Amino acid sequence: MPVRNPRALFENLSMNEQIKKTVSLALDEDIGSADVSVSLLDDKIVLAKITARESAVVCGIEYAQMAFLLLNKNICFKWYVDDGDIVVKNQTLCILSGSANNIISAERVALNFLQMLSGVATQTKILVDKLSHTNTQLLDTRKTIPGLRVAQKYAVTCGGGVNHRMGLYDCVMLKENHIAASGSIKDAVHVASAKYPNLALIVEVENIAQLGEVLRLKGVTRVLCDNFSIDDLAQAVRLAKGMMPIEASGNIDENNIAEVAHTGVNYISIGAITKNIQAIDLSLRFS
């Protein structure tokens, strides 16, 4: 089932440990054996401020904070916002205090997480707002940055979106290549239903004829209409009414998402919200 609550995304793992692992890899990548530039400086205690240079939905606070704390657990923070909050240009997000050298060394990694995840949340919010007058929900996909799926799917929920499957393990999704390898939609569905009766089963179709095949089968949880025209989506909704939910996907963006939703589809999945990221412009400066 889709996930609406951000924390529910992490119910089977420790969020703190997941964040620590992800941020540690980023710090290792950036610092390597040593921050040679910061080694030239005399260390001192400073105040620093993180500021938004544009409007955005904030996301990634715990990831950003972890970057600093892994270098120095004594760095202190005063956050003026929470994940999911909307901020405006020049708004202060956080004041931090502690070792100047450690703050400088962690700055880029911290801001990278905060900028990227805020970008995902912001783009998600833009699209969700366009659906606010409908009953259609916005879903993400598996088109995420390798190693950052949990983080990006969390960001989607902060922007008001809903999580699709986390990976290949928690939902059966039969796409064109699965169907081709199985020989038919019917055969693919029968095998999937028999082997994984307790998992959701989603079948992707490319035309109305294939949709008709799926609607005659038992065990399917949802049908995904890929690259359907507006007219065909409207017809698909009529045909599937009372039988199973319809998900629309393919070439949908902020220019046509409302029109797609007006067909009555239950879900719209868009890979661009995690794949085509416009990072939010943030700055960190010593006071």
Domain that residue 41 falls in: 6-125+278-286
* 213 Cα distance to chain centroid: 32
- 280, 93 contact by CB (below 8 A): no
Q: 219 exposed, middle or buried (CB, 10 Å; 0-12, 13-18, 19+)?
A: middle
- Written as tens digits, the pLDDT of the chain (287 aa) is 444 444 454 454 567 888 999 999 999 999 999 999 999 999 999 999 999 999 999 999 999 999 999 999 999 999 999 999 999 999 999 999 999 999 999 999 999 999 999 999 999 999 999 999 999 999 999 999 999 999 999 999 999 999 999 999 999 999 999 999 999 999 999 999 999 999 999 999 999 999 999 999 999 999 999 999 999 999 999 999 989 999 999 999 999 999 999 999 999 999 999 999 999 999 999 98
Extract the tokens encoding 282: 């943030």
121/68 same-domain check: yes
Interhelix angle 208-215/230-240, nearest 10 degrees? 10
145/81 same-domain check: no
109/164 same-domain check: no
253/146 same-domain check: yes
The pLDDT score that the predictor gives to residue 15 is 75
As a whole number of angstroms, the distance between CA 140 and CA 270 comes to 6
> Is residue 235, in this structure, part of any structural domain at all?
yes
The CATH number for 265's domain is 3.20.20.70
134/228 same-domain check: yes
The pLDDT score that the predictor gives to residue 6 is 45
The pLDDT score that the predictor gives to residue 284 is 98
203/136 same-domain check: yes
The CATH number for 47's domain is 3.90.1170.20
pTM: 0.92
Which residues are designated catalytic?
108, 143, 175, 204, 226
- 140, 269 contact by CB (below 8 A): yes
138/270 same-domain check: yes
The pLDDT score that the predictor gives to residue 16 is 84
> Is residue 184, in this structure, part of any structural domain at all?
yes
44/159 same-domain check: no
The pLDDT score that the predictor gives to residue 80 is 98
72/147 same-domain check: no
> Is residue 54, in this structure, part of any structural domain at all?
yes
> Is residue 237, in this structure, part of any structural domain at all?
yes
184/226 same-domain check: yes
> Is residue 1, in this structure, part of any structural domain at all?
no
261/250 same-domain check: yes
74/32 same-domain check: yes
> Is residue 263, in this structure, part of any structural domain at all?
yes
The pLDDT score that the predictor gives to residue 8 is 52
As a whole number of angstroms, the distance between CA 179 and CA 186 comes to 9
State the total domains in the chain: 2
Inter-residue long-range contacts of 256-263, CB under 8 Å, 24+ positions, other chains counted: 257/127, 257/130, 257/131, 257/138, 258/130, 258/131, 258/134, 259/230, 260/136, 260/230, 260/233, 261/130, 261/131, 261/134, 261/136, 262/134, 263/230, 263/233, 263/234, 263/236, 263/237
- Provide the b/e sequence for 14-43 (b: ≥16 CB within 10 Å): eeeebbbebbeebbeeebeeebeebeeeee
